[in-house]
Amino acid sequence: MKFNKVWLLVALTLSVLSGCKEREATIAKSDKEICLDWAKLSLEITKNTKGNSPTYASRCLGYLGLTMYETLVHGSPGYISMENQLNGLENLPKPESDKIYDWMEVMNSGHAFMLKNLYIQTADSNVIKIDSLEALIFNSRKAMGSSEKTLNDSRKLGQEIATTIFDWAKTDKGHRAYLKNFDKSLENKSFPGCWKPPLYGQSFSRFPLHPHWGENRTFSKDNQNLPLPDFIPFDTIPGSPYYEQFMAVYHKKNELTDDDKKAAVWWGDDPDETYTPPGHSYFLATLALEQKDLSAIEMARMYAELGMSLADAFINCWKWKYHFFSERPNTFINEHVDVQWESFWPDPPFPAFPSGHAIQAAACATILSHALGDSMHIVDITHVGRKPDKLRNTPFTARTYESFWDIARETANSRFYGGIHTPQDNEVGLEQGQIIASNIYKLKWHE
């Protein structure tokens, strides 16, 4: 009997201590922590939802960043809504003048709604995580003094704003695109220098990923009809500009250093196991924001700018990929240089030009350097702890940078090291990513 009483006392004590710790954690949630918590959970859902892809992830990050911003903007004097500035975004709900709002709760409820609806196919365990974070933040705001009425009014406004943005999202041609990653009715083009399904590839599919993604609506009106970038014309004559593009890849394979291999593996960002390339960029932004003392609206603006830039970058990149429908080094080199050659990294299932890694990395560097300055010490821990790829036997080691543009250039170069992109794929990607992101940050964000 005494034994049972002792254990009952221990259990009660632990329960009280646990409750105290939970209360302490709840009360301690700052505005900055709330923004970061939602960004991190969004990436976790991105990483752990089946059927995801870089294209679909970029779209989701665009709408999540925009929702974070729009749910805070009316409580942030001097800042301006994106209503009527973006491509078809109109009639967003407004706060009522006779009500008091807790703006972090407006954002909390709006972000939770958007995340669950964008990833409606995610596992129930992930939905529980979203609901749990939303409840934790709601209770935190209550503990910090917001009344029940204020919180309920705030929750309602956040959901109304998010619902309007989501309804707009459903008309962009990318809604629930994970249900149609590969179009089996598509007839691949056939011409000299065209893309062919790889023998050595990341996907078992013989069809290319999201061939119609370039038809999607962009966030920025200026990004909807950008001109085609220049492309070096096909040529098999040794010494020609086109031929030399692939010879550069061919020679690099024989010169790869250990660090080149580590970079190639680090930036692979396979959608089956990682945040995807745009998610990796979103994570880097989160690492940067953890170092800065910014307000919630400043953070939300940066997430909105970054997310929409990544989304528009992938739309345009995919438009150009399927326009040029260009081959990868594994095809050209095998046919015209060395039949036994094989790239260090397997081909992704879509055409080459321009590089998706490069264009989204440049968009990220443009936004972050514009908002925070280019110089910043970043230790990228995205893949730390991940098991090494057995075939390449290259470890995942944290990588350190002093500049956002250093990150962008290495991201692009990693695909060259991997043997899946030529220099022109990367150079054009870096150029276009900068243009696309500039069209986003040039929107009118404040008075």
Residue 3 falls inside a structural domain: no
Same-domain pairing of 79 and 206: no
Same-domain pairing of 235 and 375: yes
Same-domain pairing of 307 and 388: yes
Print pLDDT tens along the chain (447 aa): 444 444 443 343 344 334 444 444 455 589 999 999 999 999 999 999 998 999 999 999 999 999 999 999 999 999 999 999 999 999 999 999 999 999 999 999 999 999 999 999 999 999 999 999 999 999 999 999 999 999 999 999 999 999 999 999 999 999 999 999 998 888 888 999 999 988 777 777 788 999 999 999 999 999 999 999 999 999 999 999 999 999 999 999 999 999 999 999 999 999 888 999 999 999 999 999 999 999 999 999 999 999 999 999 999 999 999 999 999 999 999 999 999 999 999 999 999 999 999 999 999 999 999 999 999 999 999 999 998 877 888 989 999 999 999 999 999 999 999 999 999 999 999 999 999 999 999 999 999
Residue 184 falls inside a structural domain: no
Pairing of strands 375-380, 399-403: antiparallel
Same-domain pairing of 154 and 250: no
pLDDT reported for residue 18: 46
Strand partners, 378: 401
Using CA atoms, how far apart are residues 327 and 338, in angstroms rounded to an integer? 16
Residue in 342, 315, 357 with CA at minimum distance from that of residue 198: 342
Residue in 365, 273, 267, 351 with CA at minimum distance from that of residue 317: 351
Residue 14 falls inside a structural domain: no
Residue in 17, 412, 432 with CA at minimum distance from that of residue 227: 432
pLDDT reported for residue 124: 97
Same-domain pairing of 146 and 220: no
Same-domain pairing of 123 and 250: no
Please state the domain count of the chain: 2
Same-domain pairing of 159 and 284: no
Same-domain pairing of 92 and 136: yes
pLDDT reported for residue 5: 42
pLDDT reported for residue 19: 45
> To which H or E segment does residue 401 belong?
strand 399-403
Burial 191-208 (b: 16+ CB within 10 A, else e): eebebbebeebbbeeebb
Q: For 1-15, how does the pLDDT look when each residue is reduced to its tens digit (9 = 90+)? A: 444 444 443 343 344
Residue 403 falls inside a structural domain: yes
Q: What is the pTM of this model?
A: 0.93
- The CATH number assigned to the domain holding 92 equals 1.20.144.10
Burial 257-266 (b: 16+ CB within 10 A, else e): eeebbbbbbb
Same-domain pairing of 148 and 229: no
pLDDT reported for residue 284: 98
Residue 351 falls inside a structural domain: yes
pLDDT reported for residue 188: 83
pLDDT reported for residue 205: 74
Same-domain pairing of 238 and 349: yes
DSSP 361-387: HHHHHHHHHHHH-SEEEEEE-TTTTPP
Domain boundary at 169, 187, 220, which? 169
**Residues, the chain:** 447
Residue 336 falls inside a structural domain: yes
Residue 253: domain span? 195-441
Same-domain pairing of 256 and 382: yes
- The CATH number assigned to the domain holding 342 equals 1.10.606.20
pLDDT reported for residue 27: 59
Using CA atoms, how far apart are residues 185 and 188, in angstroms rounded to an integer? 9
Strand partners, 380: 399
pLDDT reported for residue 358: 98
Same-domain pairing of 257 and 332: yes
Domain boundary at 169, 185, 211, which? 169
